Amino acid sequence: MSWIVEKRKQGMEIYATNRETESIFIGEGYTQKEYKRSMELAKVIVKALNEHEKKPLDLSKHPEYESQQDQYYSESTQRHP
């Protein structure tokens, strides 16, 4: 997935989006100062998200993550009376 900066509502709302499933509201652009700040922030966030998604997920560094996930799935799949 590739993240991009997207403007909505006639360019007044700024989002970071991957165009498939997720969007993150960054800020508004109702004034020139707000717009500039929101666009700068959006560019930083989009760059970070794109760099993060290029890296492979290594769960060996976070063994607690696997155990929490396993616990969650075992609890959510148990039948309750």
pTM above 0.85, yes or no: no
Query: Who wins on pLDDT, 7 or 11?
Result: 7
Mean pLDDT to the nearest integer, 61-69: 60
Q: Give the 3-state DSSP-derived string for 33-54, with helices as H, strands as E and coil as C.
A: HHHHHHHHHHHHHHHHHHHHHH
Q: Which tens digits make up the pLDDT trace of 35-45?
A: 999 999 999 99
Domain that holds residue 45: 4-77
Say how many domains are in the chain: 1
Given this model, what pLDDT does residue 60 score?
Answer: 67
Mean pLDDT to the nearest integer, 17-21: 85
pLDDT band for 34, please (50, 70, 90 cuts): very high
